[in-house]
Structure 1
Amino acid sequence: MRDELLAPALPPASLDLVLVVGALERTPWHRWTLQLCHRALADDGRLVLVAPNFHGLASADALGFLAARLAREVALRWRRARRLPPPRERFGGRRYRRADLLATLDALGFRTRECTTRDAGWLAPLNAVRPGLVAAVSRSHLVLAERVPSLFGADPRRPYPDPARHRQEFERRHRAYFRDRERWLDRHPRMRPKAVETFDPACGSGRNVLVLCPHPDDELIGCGGTLARLIAHGASVTVVHATDGSEAASLWHAPRDIARTIRLEEARRVGERMGFADLIFWNEYNAAFVERPERVRELAQLLERLRPALIFTPFVTDIHPDHRVLSRMLARALGEGGVARAGSRVLSYQVWSSVPPNLACDITEMAGLQEEALFLYATAMKVDDYVHFCQDRNYHDAVAVAGRPGYFECFLATPAAEFPELAATVGGSDA
């Protein structure tokens, strides 16, 4: 089974059973393949999966894999010691630790019914002496699992996790974002919000909304649910896609013409599904995105034409340089146009950052649409599971801001006239 064939061929909820044998370990995007299986299965559908055991010693292939992995780890440590970047390797296969495989399935929305490690190979004669030991190093895991909802909270079979424990674990995993946020607030204490306002999507009714998107997918990750609510209330949403997104890891070995166009094609499909009024593509090369005066002037002219009620842009402490470049360009464009910024608000959204929120939008009813739209960004989703990244962050924010289960998107809202000052708080040392 190849994931590039599975995705277009099988509509959602069209199968009762998916059998995966000899495939998962051969695709570089194994988690994405499992998500496509989940999407293709009907509710309560069954997954039968056979995957090679990481600790397997029962075949020559297994021993060869362990030797190759050891050699690779030595090479990577050598490069790290010399401060060299890791190579852009071609995928060479993988094997699975039982606990890691089951945790991945659980996170994606599979309930494991049975898991055995089997096929002792040349170690079979030892079964009579140490059967438990032989099972642990046998060739493969056999898993039987059933499909439950992908996102937690919408179904009793997949309830919301304990709020306090989830919040603590999320902040532990993303402690660098929270640390950067607190350091920024310590340097600029007057930026610390005093309260969190509840976002009213009716504020965009009959108005223009502008979204600045460094890469195709950031508009969904940072504010997709909020945009859906704005559109449902009659807002007209224009999205500017700044770069071609060609630096995605899944495109490292793709032909250049495909790498520079495929994510923009995905963005068009997302725009249709979400109901965006207009998409603007700058087609900037992802590997060399910098501030350019002509783009700043173009953005200033767009602001003047749209006079948007709301402008969405990445938060200024985002660790991705492309995100910071685009926010600085917005600050310069706003500095050039007094009329365009009058009455507008800039909503800084979070992707690779954590905003100090003063505005929060309840997107619980839009979480399913956000998931559906993210699936259209297959190129990015192969590399990172943004569906569950958004789930975990937005549930955390609901608990942190509203004190209850649900999904919230949080922003730092700033009058457009004040955004250049906000952007100026971050220089090279803050990034």
Structure 2
Amino acid sequence: MTGRTVLCVAAHPDDEVLGAGGTLAKHAAAGHEVHVLIVTEGVTAQYDDLELVEEKVDAAEECGERLGVETLHFGELPDMRLDSTPHVEVNAVIEDCVESIGPDVVYTHTQDDVNQDHVAVAESTMVAVRPGAGVERILAYETPSGTEWAAGDRFAPTVYVDVTDHLDTKVGAFDAYDMERRPYPHPRSERAVRARARTRGTEAGFEAAEAFALLREYASEV
């Protein structure tokens, strides 16, 4: 289907490709307009060198180019501090992006995650895409080294996207984030990324898949 506008909301640089990179590449290959919003600068809580913020932006842009993303949007909120950032400020960053691009489909974090930035972004995304925002479909993605480490409620996918033809693109795009890659068996290693896609694929009858939870859908026709 052509003419679709897609927005992926991510807390940090690399969440977008780890959670939905193959699906975003598939959207782009189908001629859809793909946008990514990265809500935080993704550096200051982990590194002292503020020059790394610019390096992360460059990596995000390279990753987006490899995936076929049309535009990257940066919220520049403080990394790993969204749980102490006023909720209305996080809401506003996402609301402004939704209003400016008018997406049909939105991907965001699942709330079933150990990372509190991910949870805050998930909650604020649901505020931004409330009825009247014009969004037709909202799906939550899993983020390796965050979602699977959560206690209590666990991520339960209801939608599987066949990314067999786009898995290499996803892995190549993730390579842009050199400082975020880890050796196997860490979930952010190439081998683990491929293994997760193969595992999700076996759950749905595909060679490789990405898994999502459908959060909400507004259908004007059935």
Same fold by TM-score, threshold 0.5 exceeded? yes
Distance 1:294 1:286, change over 3 A: closer
Partner residue of 1:345?
137
Structure 2 gap ranges (5+) = 149-154
> Contact conserved, 1:221 with 1:386, CA < 8 A, in 2?
no
> Contact conserved, 2:105 with 2:137, CA < 8 A, in 1?
yes
**Helix, strand or coil at the partner of 1:340:** coil
Residue 194 (structure 2) pairs with residue 391 (structure 1): yes
Runs of 4 or more above 4 Å deviation = none
Shift of 1:248: 7.2
Residue 212 (structure 2) pairs with residue 411 (structure 1): yes
> Contact conserved, 1:312 with 1:349, CA < 8 A, in 2?
yes
Distance 1:241 1:366, change over 3 A: same
Question: Out of 195, 203, 214, which is 1:400 matched to?
Answer: 203
Matches within 5 A, 1:86-105: none
Distance 1:271 1:353, change over 3 A: same
**Helix, strand or coil at the partner of 2:133:** helix
Residue 72 (structure 2) pairs with residue 272 (structure 1): no
Distance 1:395 1:340, change over 3 A: same
Structure 1 gap ranges (5+) = 1-201, 418-431
Q: Deviations over 1:118-167 (max 9, x none)?
A: xxxxxxxxxxxxxxxxxxxxxxxxxxxxxxxxxxxxxxxxxxxxxxxxxx
More helix by share: 1
Residue 9 (structure 2) pairs with residue 212 (structure 1): yes
RMSD (Å), alpha carbons:
2.1
Shift of 1:348: 0.4
Could you tell me the TM-score, scaled by structure 2's length?
Answer: 0.83
For 1:239 and 1:299, the matched residues in 2 are separated by 11
Distance 1:248 1:393, change over 3 A: farther
Aligned-partner residue type, residue 234 of structure 1: G
Question: Out of 99, 115, 120, which is 1:304 matched to?
Answer: 99
Aligned-partner residue type, residue 319 of structure 1: V
**Helix, strand or coil at the partner of 1:305:** helix
For 1:392 and 1:260, the matched residues in 2 are separated by 30
Partner residue of 1:359?
159
Aligned-partner residue type, residue 242 of structure 1: V
Partner residue of 1:333?
128
> Contact conserved, 2:39 with 2:93, CA < 8 A, in 1?
no
**Helix, strand or coil at the partner of 2:161:** strand
Aligned length: 205
Identity of aligned residues (%): 24
For 2:78 and 2:175, the matched residues in 1 are separated by 24
For 1:350 and 1:287, the matched residues in 2 are separated by 18
Partner residue of 1:234?
31
Aligned-partner residue type, residue 41 of structure 2: D
> Contact conserved, 1:248 with 1:379, CA < 8 A, in 2?
no
Aligned-partner residue type, residue 225 of structure 1: G
Structure possessing the higher relative contact order (Cα contacts under 8 Å, 6 or more residues apart): 2
> Contact conserved, 1:291 with 1:326, CA < 8 A, in 2?
no
Distance 1:227 1:291, change over 3 A: farther
> Contact conserved, 1:214 with 1:241, CA < 8 A, in 2?
yes
> Contact conserved, 1:222 with 1:349, CA < 8 A, in 2?
yes
